[in-house]
């Protein structure tokens, strides 16, 4: 993917304007962003992908966050300098959106989407180096946080993602590095899974943006 102007994204031979350039600032157009996201989603996930009307409100919030619209985000209680925890029921589209939304800001540092269970499997195989690797200064989105198994390396149990989140919090405080994650769990369940210490760090680390509890399973 290339872009020859920050407000126009090129996919193959097609140009998608997602706003207008006013001086050195992009004035984003939400409807145009949705057209691009629909097209990019089909490229990434296949022709069955579509943007659902009932998701427009959460998409609007997420787009404002990614384009760093400080004024509107502030009105919604979102801090553009913090990371993002996207919550919602199974199959509502969290992972797809996190894989997709980074493409509307190709000039920003991209993050890698990694399933939490894969990180735990890595820990089981090679041990504590995995916690160092994911607690480092790269940008990650931890997918399906809270439902991963407990890690076990040479008979030693470890709450792998809990340890990584503590490292990511330190990184955020010291270097302002963001962390992203998706989860099916609510705040109470996350606290039960990781304990009060990690949960309080998560409040500092993340903006919490959630799908409605009644959001349907789009995989069905």
- What span, in angstroms and rounded, lies between the C-alpha atoms of 208 and 92? 16
Let me know if residue 99 belongs to a domain: yes
- What span, in angstroms and rounded, lies between the C-alpha atoms of 104 and 91? 23
Q: pLDDT digit string (tens) for 147-177?
A: 999 999 998 899 999 999 999 999 999 999 9
Let me know if residue 68 belongs to a domain: no
CATH, residue 91? 3.40.50.300
Let me know if residue 16 belongs to a domain: no
Let me know if residue 148 belongs to a domain: yes
Over residues 9-25, mean pLDDT: 91
Let me know if residue 74 belongs to a domain: no
219 — pLDDT class (breaks 50, 70, 90): confident
Q: Does residue 61 contact residue 211 with C-beta atoms inside 8 Å?
A: no
- What span, in angstroms and rounded, lies between the C-alpha atoms of 213 and 196? 24
Q: pLDDT digit string (tens) for 84-140?
A: 999 999 988 999 999 999 999 988 889 999 999 999 999 999 999 999 999 988 999
Q: pLDDT digit string (tens) for 30-52?
A: 999 999 999 999 999 999 999 99
Quickly tell me which residue has 């939304």 as its tokens.
101
Helix, strand or coil, per DSSP, at residue 209: strand
Let me know if residue 160 belongs to a domain: yes
Let me know if residue 182 belongs to a domain: yes
Let me know if residue 141 belongs to a domain: yes
Q: Does residue 184 contact residue 87 with C-beta atoms inside 8 Å?
A: yes
Domain that holds residue 198: 80-210
User: How many domains are there within the chain?
Assistant: 1
């Amino acid at each position: 993917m290339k872009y020859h102007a920050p407000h126009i994204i090129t996919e193959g031979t097609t140009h998608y304007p997602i706003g207008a350039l006013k001086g050195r600032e992009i004035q984003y157009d939400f409807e145009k962003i949705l057209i691009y996201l629909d097209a990019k989603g089909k490229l990434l996930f296949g022709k069955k992908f579509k943007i659902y009307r009932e998701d427009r409100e959460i998409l609007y919030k997420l787009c404002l966050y990614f384009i760093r619209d400080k004024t509107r985000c502030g009105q919604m209680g979102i801090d553009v300098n913090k990371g993002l925890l996207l919550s919602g029921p199974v199959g509502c589209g969290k992972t797809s959106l996190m894989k997709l939304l980074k493409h509307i800001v190709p000039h920003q540092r991209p993050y890698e989407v990694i399933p939490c269970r894969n990180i735990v499997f890595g820990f089981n195989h090679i041990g504590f180096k995995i916690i160092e690797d994911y607690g480092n200064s790269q940008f990650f989105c931890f997918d399906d946080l809270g439902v991963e198994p407990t890690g076990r390396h040479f008979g030693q149990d470890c709450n792998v993602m809990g340890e990584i989140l503590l490292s990511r919090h330190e990184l955020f405080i010291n270097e302002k590095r963001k962390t992203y994650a998706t989860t099916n769990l609510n705040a109470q369940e996350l606290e039960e899974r990781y304990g009060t210490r990690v949960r309080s760090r998560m409040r500092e680390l993340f903006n919490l943006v959630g799908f409605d509890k009644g959001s349907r399973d789009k995989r069905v």
